[in-house]
Amino acid sequence: MNFYLRVCFFFLILFCSTNVNSKEEQINLTYKIQWGNLVLGEAIAKWKFKENKLTLKGKTFSVGAISTFSNFESKVHLEGIKHNDEWFPKLLEISSITKDGKKYSKVFWDKNRNVVRTTRIPDINLKKVYPINKEHFLNTIDPWSAMLQALKLLKETNSCKSSFNIYDGRRTAILYFEDLELVNLQKDRPWSYSGKTKVCGMLSKSTGGHLIKSKWRKKNSTFSDIKIYLADMNTSFLIPVRIEVKTFLGKIIARLKLSKNLLTQ
């Protein structure tokens, strides 16, 4: 299950405001990740915006019974800037602990979106993953900045349709987003969201750093394999209230845990 915990973590902590003003604003998100009624993990994110700068500190971790045989923890730290009304990364740090050991990566970008330096401990193992070629770095941004840009386009065009070249320090990929449907979501947990949502589908095309052999990779993925439910919660923030990931073992769902301190200023 570790792979899908990472997938959920990736989506859960990357959504935030697309209309941040000059005040300092912070949003705190907590999600529970479940396979049926079995709780696999939690994801927590703290976003902070001030003028043209942003920071993100997030973590995900396995909980409950799953921890006894598939323990996982991951942390992310992102610093970015706003240029021409779009968010771009300056620094991205990711660390993780799994049964395979500890991993750490740090990436620096310049103002022209060029990757200027990457640190990996340990380095990628080319016996297990595909190489990352120079062309894979061209015009890349981190996954979270890509999602902020996707949400900006969604607000301007009312469409999810977009694509971005991303790099997280160990992998490169192209993310594709597409419109799926409008859904009136019903509360299925006492603490979950109910109401109108717009559903975006996502596809990821790996270009480098991904596993050569993976039992989790689908040959014919579709946009409905990963569904992101976005809701207007009467703030300037677009909030993902539910993420669904199809696997050969069934559907894994991450739900936003509603709280009173979601937004602070």
Strand partners, 228: 200, 243
Pick from 102, 92, 27, 33: which is nearest to 61 by CA? 33
Residue 234 has a pLDDT of 67
pLDDT in tens, the chain (265 residues): 444 445 555 555 555 444 445 567 788 889 999 999 999 899 998 888 888 899 999 999 988 767 666 788 999 999 999 888 888 999 999 999 988 899 999 999 998 888 999 999 999 999 999 999 988 888 899 998 888 888 888 888 889 999 999 999 999 999 999 999 999 999 999 999 999 999 999 998 999 999 898 766 667 889 999 999 999 876 556 788 999 999 888 899 999 998 765 554 4
Please say whether the beta carbons of 176 and 150 come within 8 A: no
Residue 128 identity (one-letter amino acid): K
Residue 24 has a pLDDT of 74
**Per-position b or e across 37-53, b if 16+ CB within 10 A of its CB:** eeebbbbbbbbbbeeee
Residue 2 has a pLDDT of 47
Residue 16 has a pLDDT of 45
Q: How many residues does the structure list for the chain?
A: 265
CA distance 265 to 256: 20
Residue 232 has a pLDDT of 84
